[in-house]
Amino acid sequence: MNWSERVSAWANPSKNPELEHVFAQQAQSLPILWLLGKTGAGKSSMIQALTGDSKIAIGNGFQPCTKTANVYDYPQDKPLLRFLDTRGLSEADYDAREDIAACEDRSHALLIVMKADDPEQSDVIKALKQIRASGKIHNYLVVHTGVLQVPDLIQRQQAIAHNQAQVEKILGQKLEQVVVDFIAEDPAESGVAELKQALANLLPILAEFSDEQLHANQEEKNFAHLKKEVLWYAGAAAASDVLQAVGLVAVPSIQGKMLHSLGNQYGVDWDKKLLTEFAAALGTSFGIKYATNLGLRQLAKLIPVYGQTIGAATAASLSFATTYALGRAASKYLYHKTQGEQLDEIELQDLYQQALTKLVPKPKNDSNDAANSDQP
């Protein structure tokens, strides 16, 4: 097979059975948002607000996960995120250990959901005692719901403060909180925007879920419909990078499948000419940076101890960001190609870099350099 044929095969791949275990790995390693709250606290409404799916309800679309919890994967066809709802919280013999075990390796946040007008939170407090004792869960967000159902402002503030104090006393720390009311007539008073921002700080992918923002042009509107698919491929690339010596082969294959899928959406078959033009539009150094950084990430994974922790985690994060940025740039390229429009290469390169730096992990000791990263 000559180079031209290899290029065409990469962007127009046939089914690769070797990737099946990678996609299975992704399904088993979805990030989890654990919802801990009494029945009627507003957990279903919260998921509806976060996903935009008004059909979601606890018991509708949820599947059993443990003896006392259900899970909901979103989106259902190519999931990016898993919600876990503690359904057995009010049972006298509730034991949080199974739920903790289901979340400990992947939970990005425990959302403690409490209605503002309900001071009786003993079931929640009991569960939190077990969760704290386990030492397995580290990210918490307190969500006070139904706040407008307490019409008097002073009483509302007192009710929120009372429930917040109960939780902070048990966990022994100050916790971030948001106040929401999902049935508020005025969206500005619902607190949903603040909730989404708080969660996006914990899990950046959540910031990409909403398609409600205004779009400057038709290309952006088109990508809004493709975004979840691109994020799914990015998640698969990240999942493959957790496995030793797998990402070096799997990540490019996954990215090729993503380009093929995007091409199908626009009615375009990738060939040598198109791929060469696309790579050139991204910049002459793109290919060198791509190959070099991918190889270095895989080598880091093989270093004992480091490769099992920091190396693997960093490789996964970078593969996620790189795959998403590639998909974003490809979507714009394909749109202009199908419209017969001239593509501004600088604009495409800026778009790629913006998508990359939005999701690439920032070093804790030097966050200012992250935006100027030399990542591909």
- pLDDT tens for each residue of 299-341: 333 334 333 433 444 557 778 888 898 999 999 999 999 989 8
Of 313, 172, 148, the residue nearest 321 (C-alpha): 313
Question: Is 302 part of any domain?
Answer: yes
Question: Is 207 part of any domain?
Answer: no
Q: What percent of the chain has pLDDT over 90?
A: 28
Question: Domain range holding 87?
Answer: 32-202
262, 160: one domain: no
- Write the CATH number for 164: 3.40.50.300
Domain total in the chain: 2
119, 258: one domain: no
Tokens of 261: 């899928």
Is the pLDDT confidence value at 366 over 50? Answer: no
Final residue of a structural domain among 168, 202, 236: 202
Given this model, what pLDDT does residue 303 score? 38
Is the pLDDT confidence value at 367 over 80? Answer: no
Given this model, what pLDDT does residue 145 score? 96
- Residues 53-107: tens digit of each pLDDT: 776 665 566 776 778 888 888 887 778 888 988 877 877 778 888 888 888 766 6
Residue-averaged pLDDT of the chain: 77
Is the pLDDT confidence value at 234 over 80? Answer: yes
188, 82: one domain: yes
Question: Is 330 part of any domain?
Answer: yes
Calculate mean pLDDT across residues 122-126: 93
Given this model, what pLDDT does residue 330 score? 93
177, 222: one domain: no
Calculate mean pLDDT across residues 273-280: 86
Question: Is 248 part of any domain?
Answer: yes
Question: Is 321 part of any domain?
Answer: yes
Given this model, what pLDDT does residue 244 score? 47
